[in-house]
Structure 1
Amino acid sequence: MSTSAPSLPGTRERMLAEATRIFADKGFDKASTREICQAAGVNIGSISYYFGDKQGLYREALVQPILDLLAQVPAPDAEVPLQDWLRGFYQALLAPLRSADGSAAQLMRLLGREMLEPSMAYEELCAQHIGPQHAALIEMLRLRVGAAEADLGLQHLAHALTALVQDYWMSADYMEALAPGVVYGPGAYERVLARMVAYGSAMVEQERLLRLAPPPLSTHGRS
């Protein structure tokens, strides 16, 4: 007799949605597989049937949505006009803010937990997927600012560009509470996107100008 859980339409997706919500609220250790299955309306055997175990469920809930997001990010290309590239970059990364069902906010909370207490799934995600994209971004920025090598200044710039959108991921509800309409509502997405492109362009240009300026005179050793 087979012990496999019945494969019903939408079962896997429903389990992932509930797992993301509960993992985001409670973290991996405190989240119960029984609670997840009850919320999804499936039996406990569905975990092993679809995901192998709790860790497999968690990995799928965390990793696959991030991979789907990263797949929309344009490849770094120094030949594309900077504002055009940044527009594609931020359009992809701001996509969660357009989600109307709250699933994006849950995913961002889950990702926030991972940034504070990285799991093996997150470390794998960074090593295999985020890391290579970051390295490609650094190389593109190197070409755009005329740097001879990938130095720490370019690391600062790359992190600053991504931090713009990460702050909206993590703080959207807080921002909206302070100023209703700044993140959600009519025209909000377009306003945020336009400003991110403008701010990002300004940061890249400022990095280029910093490298043209002479270094400040050192006062070390003067009497």
Structure 2
Amino acid sequence: MTPTTRERIMTEALRLFGEQGFAKTSVAQIEQAAGLSGGSGALYRHFKSKDELLVRAVDTRLTDRSGWDQFLAPEFSVATALTAITPSGSTVDKLLALCRIGLARLDHDRDVTRILLRDNSIPASLLEVFRQQEYAVVMTAVTRGLIELAGSRGAEQDWDATAAVLVGALAHFWIMGDIFDGGHPANVDTERYLRATAELIAARIDWADTEGEDS
């Protein structure tokens, strides 16, 4: 299906905001990139302002979850899905699969991630869109997955905080790689980083199991 003018404007705006920054991207540049006459004001037929365009474009991109929709459904078992991806895999293998899914999500939202993590000129209203439409739902899915993987071993543990650590680790790796043109400054490749992250979270699950035996 051919994208509408409104959709082209949002797509090109996100790309330019991600590459140049929100403040440095002009309305005329967005219009020209979207196939309109640069400086004509045609953008304002679809959006009241550049700020509104940014919020609407980010909201649209974040709610386009594609294959990630299933992970966000309340009745969906994250642990079952990870087991299907890694049959007979260990807890580390399952967590490694979860890390890869998370990193793929960041890649899917590359422009949005750049805007949110690297641009300090964005309006506060956009941060709230991100908190509600992305961070909160991802945290819910990851926390649920950790609880399912831990089972009865970690019923009393703080899995919300553990999920925040996991999501933060993935975001850090992604943004460092993006800043340094694909390579982490510590010269740790993707597989090593994700496996180390998975092993740390698996150790947290095992520690919860040991703590439960001691109590």
> TM range, normalised to the smaller chain?
0.5 to 0.7
% identical aligned pairs: 23
Which one has a bigger Cα radius of gyration? 1
Distance 2:3 2:149 in 1: 48
Gaps of 5+ in 1: 1-7, 184-191, 215-223
Structure 1 segment 73-152 matched on structure 2, within 5 A: 75=71, 77-80=78-81, 81=83, 82=91, 83-84=93-94, 86-87=96-97, 90-91=100-101, 93-94=103-104, 97=107, 105-113=110-118, 119-145=124-150, 146-149=153-156, 151=158
Counterparts of 1:203 and 1:158, CA distance in 2:
12
- Distance between the aligned counterparts of 2:62 and 2:98, measured in 1? 17
- Equivalent in 41, 53, 60 of residue 56 of structure 2: 60
Kindly state the Cα deviation for residue 165 of structure 1 after the two structures are TM-superposed.
2.7
How far, CA to CA, are the matches of 1:137 and 1:95 in structure 2? 13
> Cα–Cα, structure 1 residues 42 and 196, in superposed 2: closer, same or farther, change >3 Å?
same
Indicate the residue corresponding to 1:189 in structure 2.
none
Larger deviation, residues 160-169 vs 9-18: 9-18
Contact 2:79 2:145 in 1 (8 A): yes
Contact 2:55 2:129 in 1 (8 A): no
Q: TM-score, normalised by structure 2?
A: 0.64
Gaps of 5+ in 2: 72-76, 84-90
Where in structure 2 are the equivalents of 1:7-18 lying within 5 Å? 11-18=5-12
Instruction: Specify the SS of the correspondent of 2:78.
Output: coil
CA-CA distance at 1:88 after TM superposition: 5.5
Query: Once the two structures are superposed, what CA deviation does each residue of 1:86-122 show, in whole Å capped at 9, x if it has no partner?
Result: 526523632665x8xxxx6544321214689662123
Detail structure 1 runs of 4+ shifted over 4 Å in the superposition. Answer: 114-118, 194-197
Aligned pairs, how many? 191
Equivalent residue letter for 1:124:
V
C-alpha distance after superposition, 1:185-221 (max 9, x if no partner)? xxxxxxx3x546533431232112322456xxxxxxx
The Cα of 1:131 is off from its aligned counterpart by 1.0
